[in-house]
Amino acid sequence: MTKHLKEADRLKKIVEAFPNITVTVLGDLVADEFIFGEISRVSREAPVLILKHRERTVVPGGAANAANNLADLGVNVLPVGIVGDDEPGRMLLKYFRHKRIAVSGVLKDKTYTTVTKTRILAGMTHTARQQVVRVDREPQEAPNAHLTRELYLAARNYAHASDALLVSDYGYGAATPAIVTTLQEKGKLGAVPIVVDSRYRLVQYSGVTAATPNEPEVEEALGVRVGQDWNKVIAAGEQVMARMKLQSLVITRGRDGMVAFDHKHKPVDIPIFGSDQVADVTGAGDTVIAAFTAALAAGATTEEAAQLANYAGGIVVMKRGTATVSRDELLHAIEQTPPATRPH
């Protein structure tokens, strides 16, 4: 048996183990709303298109999308976050219940506004839909001390019964370095791996197991420009590993694939899976961290987990809107294309 076939078989065994694992997701639950209108005419009031409303969909975004991806990969998922007593919040809870995702860790608060990202898409009957504008509805302030404590308690209780804790921090306050530090110091989580994706404060999460930032997030966190320079990629990755005291790190690089860092091994450069003619990158980072965390929880090495995350990311960016990857799609991708790395 060739090396590639052995690696592919190992990856398939990891994916087949997903239904045996449980992952807690702590983070900012977002409602991703898509409103599609057909171009009707140009307005007389202003030089803008008038769209005839055709359809509206609301799907999980942010941490809710990471949870949704885990569920579609066959993982038992326990989301912890906050929604408001509003329509988007109720729709998220209904969506989770329909998927048989536990909602007892999702706090409902009347003073909170469910984070909602509304994308208006326009097109003709037989043309591709193009996003023309996005409107974000956000809470006026971060969760109060009472809600923060409730989030901590729910995350601690669920993580005790889980094989991994996924932290999805979009900057709205449901997942913070302070909450995660308290979980590490007082939560008695033992060897439960903690995997972090943070939009704005990556390096403030110190002592977690792994992180899955994209290249712009790394550049912003370190105040550097990486570009196409491999040596700069390695230097930046090693700096993040040291500052965050990580065991594993995956930096996603768009059409350049991803680089996996492990505290015991040399960095691995993984080329993009599938076409680089991307349909939509909305929510792709949620898919990557979901697959990576599930693989780590199932006993994968950093490289194996990164390979599976790379397959999942390559599949999901070919779908429009906020989407997920199923376990069958992942297994099919592994069968069709053996895992690859680029030498340096």
**pLDDT one-digit tens code per residue, 92-139:** 999 999 999 999 999 999 999 999 999 999 988 777 788 999 999 999
Q: Is the pLDDT of residue 44 over 90?
A: yes
Give the closest residue to 199 by CA, choosing from 180, 183, 176, 224: 176
262 catalytic residue (yes or no): no
Share of the chain above pLDDT 70, in %: 97
Q: Is the pLDDT of residue 53 over 80?
A: yes
Q: How many CA atoms lie within 13 A of 161 on its CB side?
A: 9
Helical segments of 167-255, H only: 177-186, 215-222, 230-244
Helical segments of the chain, H only: 3-16, 63-72, 87-98, 145-160, 177-186, 215-222, 230-244, 284-297, 302-316, 327-336
pLDDT, position 317: 84
6 C-beta neighbours (distance < 10 Å), count: 11
Q: Is the pLDDT of residue 3 over 70?
A: no
Contact status, residue 298 vs residue 21, Cβ threshold 8 Å: yes
Q: Is the pLDDT of residue 162 over 70?
A: yes
Q: Which residues, including other chains, have CB under 8 Å from residue 59's CB and lie 6 or more apart?
A: 31, 32, 34, 65, 68, 95, 321, 322
Q: Is the pLDDT of residue 6 over 50?
A: yes
Tokens encoding 164? 């991994």
Main-chain dihedrals φ then ψ at residue 225, nearest 5 degrees:
-115, 120
Q: Is the pLDDT of residue 221 over 60?
A: yes
Q: Which CATH class is domain 3-30+61-114+141-336?
A: alpha beta
pLDDT, position 323: 84
pLDDT, position 280: 64
d(CA 169, CA 151): 13
pLDDT, position 2: 65
Can you tell me the mean pLDDT for 231-241?
96
- Domain ranges, ordered by start, for the chain: 3-30+61-114+141-336
d(CA 223, CA 203): 12
Question: Over the stretch 251-299, which tens digit does the pLDDT of each residue have?
Answer: 999 888 999 999 999 999 999 887 766 666 777 889 999 999 999 999 9
Tell the burial category of 146 from Cβ atoms under 10 Å away from its Cβ (0-12, 13-18, 19+): exposed
Can you tell me the mean pLDDT for 60-71?
96
Max Cα separation, the chain? Answer: 69
d(CA 213, CA 237): 10
pLDDT, position 278: 63
242 C-beta neighbours (distance < 10 Å), count: 11
- Residue 153 pLDDT level (bands cut at 50, 70, 90): very high
pLDDT, position 93: 97
Q: What is the dihedral of CA 73, 74, 80, 83, to 10 degrees?
A: 70
Give the closest residue to 333 by CA, choosing from 325, 341, 342: 325
pLDDT, position 274: 78
Which residues partner with 137 through β-bridges? 116
Q: How many CA atoms lie within 13 A of 241 on its CB side?
A: 20
Can you tell me the mean pLDDT for 324-328?
90
Catalytic residue among 28, 229, 286, 328: 286
Which residues partner with 111 through β-bridges? none
CA distances from 91 to 30, 97, 115, 168, 223 (A): 11, 10, 12, 20, 39
Contact status, residue 18 vs residue 300, Cβ threshold 8 Å: no
pLDDT, position 1: 47
